[in-house]
Amino acid sequence: MAGQLFLTIAFFAGWEALVRFGVLKVYLYGLPSGILDKFWKLLVDGSLIADTAITAYESILGFAIGSFFGSFLGLALWLTPTLAAVLRPFIVAINGLPKIALAPLIIVWFGIDIESKIAIAGIITFIVSLMTAYSGAMEVDGDLVRLMRSLGASPRQTFFKVVVPSTVPWIVSGLRLNVGFALIGAVVGEYIAAKKGLGYLVYYSGTLYDLNAVWVGLFMLMAVALALDYLVTLIER
């Protein structure tokens, strides 16, 4: 912890010094003291709290919905090999599609309100969770499955006693990936059509060349990502 704090302080001190001595241009990189000042102003007027709350809500809800249903369907496909074989080419094709490319369509379907950002985050995380859960289920030790069947276990018992426990590490890995994907989905939606949220703050501030505000938005996005990652850690425990 002390080492991390030291590195953080050293990084910002070095950044400040390089800008102050003219090595880095302030209009290109911003200034840590200016970022702190902008953070305080946005905090005091309440806009930063509102933007952070909106993006966090969109990300967390999209993350939860997409991860749950994606993991559920990925596991369920193990019980229906025929359906899995039919759907596999479609799943692979959708997974190979740049997921952000779906954002304009989702905006058209769901509108420009908060629901569209939740939908973007949810659909992206759904695809990731579906792939990780399904891949994990397919990697379950076949010997364990055959042993359960030889002992007279039903498919349902095999599923809950062997497949689900064996797939948990894959699902948790997918959840960690989805922390970033949920935020990406929410922020891209705010970039395309929004008047609030951290994504909008970053985009709008960038158009005004207000780099200090841009950095405030980026650092707050990092904070939301850390909070989501901590949530995954609690689920893992």
Take residue 20 and report the two structure tokens written for it: 């102050």
Looking at residue 36, its pLDDT comes to 93
DSSP code string of 65-79? HHHHHHHHHHHHHHH
Per-residue pLDDT tens digits for 16-34: 899 988 888 888 888 889 9
pLDDT at 71 over 80: yes
Q: Give pLDDT, residue 58.
A: 94
Q: Given a cut of 90, is residue 222 above it in pLDDT?
A: yes
Q: Is the pLDDT of residue 215 over 90?
A: yes
Q: Does domain 38-236 have CATH number 1.10.3720.10?
A: yes
Could you tell me what percent of the chain has a pLDDT over 70?
99
pTM given for the model: 0.85
Instruction: Please report, for the chain, how many H helices and E strands are present, in that order.
Output: 12, 0
Write down the domain spans for the chain. Answer: 38-236
State the DSSP string of 123-134. Answer: HHHHHHHHHHHH
Tell me which of 38-47, 68-77, 152-161, 189-198 is least confident.
152-161
